[in-house]
Amino acid sequence: MALKPTEPSCWDIELFLSQNKKMFDHRYANVGKRVMLHKQIEVVPPSVSLENEDVINWDKVLPCLEKIIRTAYKSEDKITDISYKELLERIVHHYHHESTIEHVAVFTFRIVCDRGISHELVRHRIASFTQESTRYVNYGKKGGKVVFPVHLLQAPKEEIEYWYRGCQQEFLLYHNALEELKWTPQQARGFLPHFAKTEVIMTMNFRSLRNLFKLRKNKAAHPDMQIIANEILMVVKEKIDIIFKDIK
């Protein structure tokens, strides 16, 4: 199954995983005195969902933004039911006065990605982040999960199995540190693979999102980060298309 490098989509990964479930059905066996994981490592796709879907009245966001912007010109008397469209077109896409779009609604996303991609994500400003903590979450009890990387979609089965078994071995070291050495999750977390699944809650305003798209939809961005950026763009365009309509 081929995936165009310029059009990564986590839906392609979901389809791929659903069609290849048996590939990841490798279980540990007890060997000597080593404590082995009793369950397979679950493989999951990256994903993005809108966390504050029902919190914000999206129909009022742009009219509110128009009123704020017109304060600079004292042109509130020109406001109509649809005047915000022409104003935002000029301000955002013609004059590029993006500081004005920092004022109103923010998007809060729940992002599922691997630990490596999360390290890139949390570098973005201005934004607020809350992340699944490897200090407190015990994956020996919760079970291990890894996020399938996009570069393996076109890989042969042997290469995918090599990746999967490598992830298993790293989780095994983590699990043994917990069970045999009696380490705490925060002490054992260094054994977790970069492919380990994490959840990040990310809140951003419109301007910060435009900057994220500029950097992370770029061809130079990590392919797995491009997937996240594309999924975020799909979500925001569904709610506030006019602010992001120039981003493809």
pLDDT tens-digit map of 213-241? 999 999 999 999 999 999 999 999 999 99
Please tell me whether the overall predicted TM-score, pTM, comes out greater than 0.95 for this model. Answer: no
Residue 25: pLDDT over 70: no
* pLDDT (0 to 100) of residue 15: 79
SS3 string, 80-145, reads CCCHHHHHHHHHHHHCCCHHHHHCCCCEEEEEEEEHHHHHHHCCCCCEEEEECCCCCCCHHHHCCE
Active-site pick, 115, 189, 210, 216: 216
| Higher per-residue confidence, 9 vs 33 | 9
Q: Is 165 a catalytic residue?
A: no
Give mean pLDDT, residues 32-58.
75
Could you read off the pLDDT of 84-129 as tens digits, one per residue?
999 999 999 998 999 999 998 789 999 999 999 999 999 999 999 9
